[in-house]
Chain A
Amino acid sequence: MLRFIVKRVGLSILTLLIVSVIIFLMTSILPGDIAKQTLGRDASPEAFEVWNKEKGFDKPLVVQYGRWMGGLMTGDLGTSFKFALPVSEVLGPAAAKSAQLAIVALILIAPISILGGVAAAMNRGKKVDRLLTVGGLSAAVIPEFVWGVVLILLFGVVFRIFPVSAFPNEENPNIFNSVYHLLLPSIALLFVLFGYISRVTRAGVIEALDSDYMRTAVLKGLSRKTAVFRHVLRNALLPTIAVIATQVPYLVGGLIAIERVFNYPGFGNTLLKAVIARDFPLLQSAVFLTGLVVICFQLIADILFAILNPRIRQRVTE
């Protein structure tokens, strides 16, 4: 088992390194002169040179990459052009805010989606199933901002049930108020993620329902309900929990549009500001952070999956 974990961690670090190279190359090689964009077209050539020298952009690419990586390792993420603050001070609080939103969203999404998937599988081929799978996936292909706008229109403007902003205006909002403000954006994320998670759950449950061991259980004389609880859900759902971890990229990607629509001062909004201001130190670190989070969750998913599956567990321990 330990060997397996070490191997997976090693691979994840390798992937993360490739991610950093991709990010670095994209910001360094793609056309578009950063100095020109920052200082404006009319600045003097000397000003460009001074600026480039100051930021270290006159050094060879390898050196620049090494400096950036070194900074990442030591926690020095550089200084944001736009905010004139250390990147970590800009990114830290924003990421914390996004994490709050993501946690509330996941607490809402995971159980509902899993239940939906189980319900669909148990009613395979019937109306309920068609509604949940076709409806769920149809909802998932509609962009988050469309959901956000429609939800705000419906519940914030027409019915006035939820606040239209995800962030309370008060000085020190209590936790209930904060969560209440996060509900509408979480529902928007639910629409986008429900389809994927419930589909994976449904597939797992159906595979287990169709399995020979489920047949054995039923033919032993277990009632269908007991057989489903003891033999199907156990086998189908544990891996599903791991699968949810792999949905994190969709969640993170979705945060950008959602935070924009709900005017939430999180990571996504910060990243968007960095894009508009072409604030590369901030942007590089923000994208790298995204990759880090996604890869970590995938790693957790893989290890969790191995632990839950006796076949893999056995093989890696022996």
Chain B
Amino acid sequence: MSTNNIPTLELRSLEVAYTVRGIDRSVLRGVSFAIAPGEAYGLVGESGCGKSTAAFAAMRYLPRNGKITGGEIFFEGKNIVDIDEEDVAQLRRSAISMVYQNPSTALNPTIRIGKQIAEVFELNGVSSSDAMMMAEQALTRVQIADPARVLRRYAHQLSGGMAQRVVIAMALASNPRLLVMDEPTTGLDATVEAEVLDLVRELRRDTGTAVLFISHNLGVIRNMCDRVGVLYAGALVEQGATSDLFSNPSHPYTVGLLRCIPRGGLHKSTDRLDTIPGTPPALGLKFDGCVFVARCALADDKCRTQLPQMVTINVAHVARCFHSDKASSLPRSVEQIEYAPQVTGHSTKVGDALLNISHLSKVFTQDGHKVRVINDVSLTLGVGETLGLVGESGSGKTTIAKLLLGLTPPEEGGVVTLDGKGLAKTLNRRDVADVGAMQIVFQNPDQALNRRHSVTRIVGRAVERLRKFSLANAIARAHELLSGMRVDASLHSVRPVQLSGGLKQRVAISRAFAGAPQLVVCDEPTSALDVSVQAAILNLLVDLQKQDKTSFIFISHDLGVVRYISDRIAVLYLGRVVEFGTSQRVFNGPFHPYTEALLSSVPNIDGSTRKRIPLTGSVPSPSNPPSGCVLNPRCPRKAGSGYETLCETEEPNLNEVEPGHFMRCHIPMAKLKQLQS
């Protein structure tokens, strides 16, 4: 860290409020931190904690209904809270830049990329012809392969990763002393995220720019930042050097946050995830004492009535807690369900074959072209087991779910059997028992629950239809289900809008279980949730599986979550299964080259460094897949394997490379093992 004693950015007791429906609601409560020149400072916290607000406040750019109600922001020693718009613009032009989430919408759709980048140089007095040249150099700097071509493109012609590189190039064009990055890789695929993070790390090494890095992802923060601040309900509750804070968390919130992440190696069979009970307070709620008091197992009367000050843990490590010494021994919070088992009449044992998918394909017609989005997928799943589907966007995970459920019919030749019985291709030709036997939990409960219906009605109607119960019995059963899934009886009559995200998802799960299903497809069920809530939902699913011997197909982009909950894993690439096997086999290797790249791109929360296996280029369009193995143009193991010609000309089959482990690769197992060791 630099010894320069004037920080690049310093927030002092910053207070920000948003006016919502006529009332001021505070979002930042006295936040103070400083970033030294060249330092990377991370802010973490769950949604609504004020991370982004802090980032935008540093840029002096708050939404129309937001205002700074107290405190100061110093940039290189100068208070910028009260400077006028022209001075703010001057700062942004020359000293502070920002990179944000959703790069593709951050670029103007009607102006060519080149002109948008050149604009930054022109603002600093460069002539327009020089500016265009410098724009090309800026693109080279962010490792864009064909910069001259990209200059002439429009935003919608770029992939997400490419667009983010352009945004970064634009941000760095002014040689800023501070770079604010607000969730710069959220929404990008894991391999793309890893590339962008590598790039940022490299650029930072070259430029020495100070960085304020905002992320909800603890792994990303751990890998990118020198120091970290933890925000909760708009207050900074803990701050310290990254490794120190992660290894010795001293605020109960930080402790809870770290505990509830399904980190590498944890598995449902042996480990139960911790949760943080309750939900974050509503926006703008007023506190007399600690902001975390309602959810803290260590809270006492003092915490309720007095505002805790920052306590020094060691040199640069502080925590806003009266009980920071006891934080590491925070009692575990693991809730158990009180759930009445379903009477399903199935007498099968765990591990018996339940689902058999063979030769499933799907072709969509897009602008007159036939696009094969699912190509000959065959998978099996046993009773009481979880099959994890992983793969990047466009790999066909969700389409497979829709095909199984009959929401979209598969192509001729695809067969799905459940419990030995072949299922009709479309939903309306399946009988009630078949429909009830396979259900789904969607990613976004806001869309999956009808906002005009009560919780009881949503679940009760499903019981009524799927189990042919009388209305009264259906309602009774719905209440039983809901209470079992810890949706309090007082909430049964309310509408979904009145529930928190986690509770909504519990209602959605209750509905999926209404028909005593044998198989439930969980399509990114926790992706929209905060990690503390995610842990509770994962625990619930595991409990349900144990009690009912329900099988799951679990779709997620989060490999940690998939690893925790799955017994078997199928890795998808471009609509094809490239690897399929038990969780252990797939995660421990030897890996399919794509799996290897995918796994190596996940930022590790333990801080252990691991060599990243990069995938070159971007995912090809499914309408025009490469010849030979579809991965071959990007394959990290093709070169030097000795199988190059085969890889480029012939598509490999899904072969059983060892008992229960299937791989679609020309390179033999032994060779892969040798390359990967």
Contacts and interface: CB of A to CB of B under 8 A. Distances in A.
Interface of A: 124-125, 211-213, 215-224, 230-231, 234-235, 238, 308-311, 314-315
A218 B89 CA distance: 8
Interface stretch (B102-110, B314-322, B371-379): B102-110
B154 A213 contact: no
Given A220-B92, A220-B123, A213 B106 contact: yes
10 closest A-B pairs by beta carbon, nearest first, are A221-B93, A221-B92, A213-B108, A212-B105, A212-B106, A216-B106, A310-B154, A219-B98, A221-B89, A311-B156
Given A216-B167, A314-B156, A221 B110 contact: no
B522 interface: no
Contacts of B98: 219
A142 to B, nearest CB: 31
A219 B59 contact: yes
Contacts of A230: 119
B156 A231 contact: no
B85 A223 contact: yes
Contacts of A224: 85
Contacts of A314: 154, 156-157
Contact of B107 (A125, A216, A223): A216
B22 to A, nearest CB: 12
Nearest to B120: A220
Interface in B157-174: 157, 167, 170, 174
Of A125, A211, A213, A216, which is in contact with the most chain B CB atoms at under 10 Å from its CB?
Answer: A216
Contact of B123 (A215, A221, A309): A221
Given A222-B119, A223-B85, A311 B90 contact: no
A124 to B, nearest CB: 8
Contact of A215 (B61, B94, B119): B61
Contact of A221 (B94, B167, B367): B94
A223 B154 contact: no
B119 A220 contact: yes
Interface of B: 59, 61, 64, 85-86, 89-94, 97-98, 100, 102, 105-111, 119-120, 123, 154-157, 167, 170, 174, 367
A231 B106 contact: no
Given A223-B89, A311-B154, A218 B61 contact: yes
A125 B155 CA distance: 31
Contacts of B94: 221
Contacts of B109: 213, 235, 309-311
Given A221-B93, A314-B156, A235 B123 contact: no
A221 B85 contact: no
A212 B187 CA distance: 16
Contact of A231 (B93, B108, B154): B108
11 contacts: A212-B106, A213-B155, A216-B107, A216-B170, A220-B120, A220-B174, A223-B86, A230-B119, A235-B110, A238-B110, A308-B110
Of A212, A220, A314, which is in contact with the most chain B CB atoms at under 10 Å from its CB?
Answer: A220
A209 to B, nearest CB: 9
B174 A221 contact: yes
Contacts of B93: 220-221
B231 to A, nearest CB: 22
Contacts of B174: 220-221
A121 to B, nearest CB: 12
A315 B369 CA distance: 13
Contact of A234 (B107, B110, B123): B110
A309 B170 contact: no
B480 to A, nearest CB: 46
Contacts of A311: 109, 154, 156
A270 B98 CA distance: 63
A315 B86 CA distance: 40
Contacts of B64: 124-125
Contacts of B156: 310-311, 314
A239 to B, nearest CB: 10
Nearest to B90: A221
B85 A235 contact: no
B110 to A, nearest CB: 5
Nearest to B88: A221
B157 A309 contact: no
Contact of A219 (B61, B85, B108, B154): B61
A235 B154 CA distance: 14
B56 to A, nearest CB: 9
B100 A212 contact: yes
Contacts of B154: 310-311, 314
A124 B64 CA distance: 10
Contacts of B367: 315
Nearest to A217: B108
A220 B131 CA distance: 15
B643 to A, nearest CB: 35
A235 B64 CA distance: 21
B168 to A, nearest CB: 12
A238 to B, nearest CB: 8
B110 A309 contact: yes
A218 B59 CA distance: 10
B671 to A, nearest CB: 41
B166 to A, nearest CB: 10
Given A216-B106, A221-B123, 16 more contacts: A125-B64, A212-B102, A212-B106, A213-B108, A216-B108, A219-B92, A220-B97, A220-B123, A221-B94, A221-B174, A222-B89, A235-B109, A309-B110, A311-B156, A314-B154, A314-B156
Contacts of B106: 212-213, 215-216
Contacts of A213: 105-109, 155
Nearest to B101: A212
A16 B676 CA distance: 67
Contacts of A215: 61, 100, 106
A224 B170 CA distance: 18
Contacts of A310: 109-110, 154, 156
B123 to A, nearest CB: 5
A157 B530 CA distance: 70
